[in-house]
Amino acid sequence: MWPFLLKRLLLAIPALWALATAVFLLSRMLPGTFASERLLQNNAPGYYSKGTEADKQAAYTLYMKRTGLDLPLFYLSVAPANGLPAAQNKLPAESSQIQDRQRSFAYLTPSVSWHGSQNQYHQWLVGALHGNLGESYRTSRPVTESLLEAIGNTFWLLLISMVLTFALALELSIQMIRKKGKWLRRALLPFLFITDSVPSFVLALLLLVFLANPDFLQLFPVYGMGYYTPDQLTAWQEMVQRAYYMALPMLCLVLFNLPYLTNQVYASLHTAMQADFARTARAKGLGESAVVRGHALRNALLPIITIVSDFIPALVTGTFIVETIFAVPGIGRMLIEAVLSRDYPVLTGIVLLIAAFRIVAFVMADIAYAWADPRIRQQTQ
Amino acid sequence: MRQLRKDIQILWAENLIFRGAASFLCLLLLLALLLPWLPLAYTPNQLDLAHLYQAPFSKPFSVQSHYLGTDGLGRDVLANVLHGIRTAFFISVPVMVLATLLGLALGMVAGFFGDTGLSLRRRGMLVLVFGMASMSYYGVYLPLQLAVADQGAGKIAASMGMGIALPMLLSAVLAILSKRVQFLRESVAIPLDQLVLRLTETMSTIPRFVLILVLASFTPPSVPLLSLIIVLTLWTNTARLARAELMRIKQLPYFEAARSIGLNSWQLMWRQAAPNLLGPVLVAFTFGLGSLLALESTLSFFNIGVPSDLVSWGRTIASIRANTGAWWLVAFPGALLTLTILALYTCSHYLNKIISKKNAA
């Protein structure tokens, strides 16, 4: 079991590294950095717009030096040998034509230079391995710190909604598979099909408009996690308050994820009920509930583990959208804000975090497999 | 091809729900095409500052009234919703077609050749690797730098010419050399299957929505760039499907027969395998189009990657965030969006049913 898990982990690391590197390099290669937009432009907002040109340049250089952005990007760089030629009208008029021609094609020879470890990528990679993901451009706070702050809300939202959805999907499928469940099946499956085609942000907004609005029904608080919290709350009180604020986002996520999961669980359970062992169980006189819960369910769970672990990206996406709409201070809202303000260190950090989460989910799925199926445990030992 | 058309005709004749969904889609398409000639009182970006947040169906009715209300800037919801159809179809359909074609090409090649099916002489391999490096420097990097430095088009053309000339030179040199050197003549297999699989795996490490968000944040907001990003991230689904289907088709007796009469790879893939792929790909296409519509409206809802003057359902819905009482801003565009996606999913569902039934039989 454990060597097998270790192998999967080791195989996942190159993908993680490739993705993070690609995002990092892309984010740094593109023109128009945060600093040049903020500090150098004349109509830039804020303090620096009033300074002279030299002041701005000095502030810009200082900023680049402080954040390490003045270093070369990668270990290796390829650039035109003599720099780019000046624009054509600025060429000295007295130079002879041959020299002129020679100079004008010099830019085609590349020159390769080696920078050693004094480059942005190396420093970022070393920092990331030490758990330091740099500082946010926007707030100048360490990315790791703000990620740690935000991850709690997202994690609980994700976990609780997943457990709720899964339990609901299981129970609904069990009810539907029974002989008496025919009417439920007729009503529920079309309803789920329709719910599935409502985009998540529309669903969230509809709930927001109709359930948290003085014009219709004011059942839930609208935004965020509450602004004023008295200091001395017991753990229990705090949980209740949090649950109150989390209720609507949670409902939204459950509604959003339920159709797919129920469908898959139902299909899987249906297949298990057709199997020979289910017929045997019925033949030896077990009740319907005992056949479903005692015999079919465990076998139906196996494909469901894969389905749930494959479903995690959609789950994360849904959580992010819901977080942004209900203004829950979590990773998703941070991501959208970082995208809108082009805060690349935060973006890279979030990408790394999500990719790592996915790998953990894969490993957990493997463990769950071994738990659900004794045959796999036997094989891998 | 003919078989598929026949299937759809049978489905159309027998299944009422499929007929409803398909005719709804046709109606939308017709509306999108005829829109410039419809007598609408307002254009979608026209501001009517006298009527902000006007509720729908407010009396008195006249030609000038906003039947479905207005948003916070006085833009007419009806005009926005109708023009949103245009945006949704004329952007999503080409994007989905391109992504499907890309996925089909990569997936079919991966499934057909596998890891050992395609081999290349070392000579060709060297030229290929060198050519890629040369093209990315002379064909992409240098022209971009030159364009930023505002040099003439002649220099850019010279750089691109250099990018093509160098690999050709290398290929000529190697062609002469390989007569002497055995090493260059040996052929090596290209692990196409592994390459495509690893690529899809890496791209699916993080959710597609997040990937698109991150990539969109690197570029200025523009529709062509965003479409490109979506095409480059969306192809993996079709590629996986095409690869799996091709691996299945490769085992079928008729394919073996075709191979045994000596057809070349191109004929095998295009004339023999592709028609069999059409059904599953059509199912995936309609389903993917539905999710693409949802994705696109989500992006324009968050105002990421699209210019803010692009008319879309997502933009209209986004204006509710300033005033949550204005239910009509989410109800009408949201309903149309949902109905469109529902119709697409329904079509996909029934097509899938009829095709998988035939495959099983």
DSSP sequence for B48-86: -TTSSSPPTTPSSP-TTS-TT-B-TT--BHHHHHHHHHH
Assess B324–A contact: CB distance below 8 Å, yes or no.
Answer: yes
Instruction: Copy the structure tokens of residue A318.
Output: 């849904």
Same domain for B182 and B206?
no
Map residue A264 onto helix, strand or coil.
Answer: helix
Does 1.10.3720.10 match the CATH number of domain A143-380? yes
pLDDT of residue B65: 78
Same domain for B82 and B208?
yes
Output the CA torsion sign for B206, B207, B210, B214. Answer: positive
Question: Measured between beta carbons, which residues in chain B are less than 8 angstroms from residue A336?
Answer: 213, 302, 304
Q: Which of A15, A198, A317 sits opposite B205 (nearest CB)?
A: A15
pLDDT in tens, chain B (361 residues): 778 888 888 888 888 999 999 999 999 999 999 988 888 888 888 888 888 888 887 777 776 778 888 888 888 889 999 999 998 889 999 999 999 999 999 999 999 988 888 888 888 888 888 889 888 888 887 887 777 777 777 878 888 888 888 889 998 998 888 888 888 788 888 888 989 998 888 888 788 899 999 888 888 888 999 999 999 999 999 999 999 999 988 888 999 999 899 888 888 888 888 888 888 999 999 999 999 999 999 999 998 888 888 889 999 999 888 887 788 888 999 999 999 999 999 999 999 988 888 776 6
Query: Burial of A329 by CB count in 10 Å (0-12 exposed, 13-18 middle, 19+ buried)?
Result: middle
Contact B142 A355 (CB under 8 A): no
Measured distance CA(A5)–CA(B158) in Å, rounded: 53
Could you tell me if residue B303 is left (phi over 0), alpha (psi between -120 and 50 degrees) or otherwise beta? left
Q: Which of A69, A77, A86 is nearest to A123 (CA)?
A: A69
Same domain for B24 and B106?
yes
Contact A347 B142 (CB under 8 A): no
Interstrand relation of A110-114 and B119-121 (parallel, antiparallel or unpaired) = unpaired
Phi, psi (rounded to 5 degrees) for B187: -105, 145
Phi, psi (rounded to 5 degrees) for B186: -65, 145
Interfacial B residues in 185-214 facing A (CB < 8 Å): 198, 201-202, 204-210, 213-214
Q: Which of A194, A209, A351 sits opposite B324 (nearest CB)?
A: A209
Could you tell me if residue B262 is left (phi over 0), alpha (psi between -120 and 50 degrees) or otherwise beta? left
Could you tell me if residue A62 is left (phi over 0), alpha (psi between -120 and 50 degrees) or otherwise beta? alpha
Same domain for B197 and B325?
yes
Number of C-beta neighbours around residue B11 at 10 A: 18
Contact A340 B146 (CB under 8 A): no
Contact A317 B207 (CB under 8 A): yes
The half-sphere exposure of B37 on its side-chain side, counting CA atoms within 13 A, is: 4
Angle formed at CA A269 by CA A266 and CA A273, multiple of 5 degrees: 135
Contact B337 A199 (CB under 8 A): yes
CATH number of domain containing B298: 1.10.3720.10
Measured distance CA(B185)–CA(A149) in Å, rounded: 59
Looking at B189, B212, B242, the residue that finishes a domain is: B189
Q: Which of B121, B132, B119 is nearest to B174 (CA)?
A: B121
User: Which distant-in-sequence residues (6+ apart) come within 8 Å of A135 by Cβ?
Assistant: A67, A141, A142, A143, A345
Same domain for B311 and B202?
yes
Measured distance CA(B146)–CA(B148) in Å, rounded: 5
Specify the length of chain A in residues: 381
Contact B152 A107 (CB under 8 A): no
Q: Which of A108, A196, A351 sits opposite B214 (nearest CB)?
A: A351
Identify any residues that bridge with A218 across adjacent strands, giving them in sequence order: A212
User: Cis (ω within 30 of 0) for the bond into A80?
Assistant: no
Q: Which of B159, B218, B325 sits opposite A215 (nearest CB)?
A: B325
Same domain for B13 and B26?
yes
CA distance B39 to chain A (A): 29
Assess B232–A contact: CB distance below 8 Å, yes or no.
Answer: no
Q: What is the dihedral of CA B123, B124, B126, B129, to 10 degrees?
A: 180
Measured distance CA(A300)–CA(A166) in Å, rounded: 13
Low-confidence residues in chain A, pLDDT < 50 = 86-95
What ipTM was assigned to the predicted interfaces of this complex? Answer: 0.84
Measured distance CA(A80)–CA(A112) in Å, rounded: 9
Range of the domain at B153: 119-189
Instruction: Copy the structure tokens of residue B275.
Output: 């028609």
Query: Burial of B224 by CB count in 10 Å (0-12 exposed, 13-18 middle, 19+ buried)?
Result: exposed
Same domain for B76 and B146?
no
CB A241 within 8 A of CB A226: yes
Measured distance CA(A350)–CA(A147) in Å, rounded: 8
Measured distance CA(B279)–CA(B294) in Å, rounded: 23
Same domain for B60 and B205?
yes
Measured distance CA(A355)–CA(A269) in Å, rounded: 31
Map residue B8 onto helix, strand or coil.
Answer: helix
Same domain for B196 and B345?
yes
Interfacial B residues in 251-310 facing A (CB < 8 Å): 290, 293-294, 297-298, 301-304
Q: What is the pLDDT of residues A171-181, one digit of tens each?
A: 999 999 888 88
DSSP sequence for B244-309: HHHHHHHTSHHHHHHHHTT--HHHIIIIIIHHHHHHHHHHHHHHHHHHHHHHHHHHHHTT-SS-TT
Assess B148–A contact: CB distance below 8 Å, yes or no.
Answer: yes
Contact A316 B330 (CB under 8 A): no
pLDDT of residue A374: 77
Interstrand relation of A110-114 and A76-80 (parallel, antiparallel or unpaired) = antiparallel
Residue spans per domain, chain A? 143-380
Same domain for B17 and B104?
yes
Query: Which of A29, A192, A205, A334 should one mutate to test binding to chain B, selecting the residue with the greatest count of B CBs within 10 A?
Result: A205
Q: Which of A191, A192, A202 is nearest to A260 (CA)?
A: A192
Output the CA torsion sign for A338, A344, A345, A351. Answer: positive
> Which long-range CB contacts under 8 A does B353-358 form with residues at least 24 apart?
B354/B7, B354/B10, B354/B11, B355/B7, B355/B279, B355/B280, B355/B283, B358/B7, B358/B279
Looking at B154, B189, B224, the residue that finishes a domain is: B189
Same domain for B179 and B256?
no
Query: Which of B148, B150, B217, B330 should one mutate to test binding to chain A, selecting the residue with the greatest count of A CBs within 10 A?
Result: B217
pLDDT of residue A329: 87
Domain count, chain B: 2
Assess B16–A contact: CB distance below 8 Å, yes or no.
Answer: no
Question: Measured between beta carbons, which residues in chain B are less than 8 angstroms from residue A320?
Answer: 209-210
Contact A351 B158 (CB under 8 A): no
CA distance A289 to chain B (A): 30
| Identity of residue B21 | A
Looking at B146, B161, B189, the residue that finishes a domain is: B189
Question: Measured between beta carbons, which residues in chain A are less than 8 angstroms from residue B346?
Answer: 193
Tokens 């799925």: give the residue.
A365
| Reduced 3-state DSSP string for A148-197 | HHHHHHHHHHHHHHHHHHHHHHHHHHHHHHCHHHHHHHHHHHHHHHHHHC
